[in-house]
């Protein structure tokens, strides 16, 4: 699955515009000083085409080796995963 490096994201929304499954929602990060919106993926809709990774102009969206997304509850599939979360 893909994860966002929030430090590199410039809130341009290209990833959300380009997503063929409408799986990305730009979400407010109140703690951000400049770029206040970042993408959150609904992995219940995502088809893993990685167009969001390709289109990102700052390489803020990157692939990862995380794969365990399954859940019996649909609302738990929506992941707000940041790159810094999987590195710590």
Tokens of 47: 């088809």
Residue 72 Cβ vs ligand SF4, minimum distance, rounded to whole Å:
21
Q: Does 9 bind ligand SF4 (CB under 6 A)?
A: yes
Tokens of 30: 């109140």
User: What single DSSP character describes residue 67?
Assistant: -
Q: Does 86 bind ligand SF4 (CB under 6 A)?
A: no
Beta 78-79 vs 2-4: how paired, if at all?
Answer: unpaired
Instruction: Select from 29, 40, 51, 78 the one that contacts ligand SF4 (CB under 6 A).
Output: 51
- Restricted to residues 58-77, the positions that interact with ligand SF4 (CB under 6 A) are 58, 60-61
**Consecutive H or E run containing 79:** strand 78-79
Instruction: Select from 27, 34, 44, 49 the one that contacts ligand SF4 (CB under 6 A).
Output: 49
């Amino acid at each position: 699955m893909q994860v966002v490096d929030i430090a590199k994201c410039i809130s341009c929304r290209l990833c959300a515009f380009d997503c063929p499954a409408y799986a990305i929602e730009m979400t407010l990060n109140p703690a951000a000083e400049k770029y206040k919106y970042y993408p959150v993926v609904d992995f219940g809709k995502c088809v893993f085409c990685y167009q969001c990774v390709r289109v990102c102009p700052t390489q803020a969206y990157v692939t990862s080796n995380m794969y365990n997304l399954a859940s019996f509850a649909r609302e738990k599939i929506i992941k707000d995963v940041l790159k810094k979360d999987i590195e710590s």
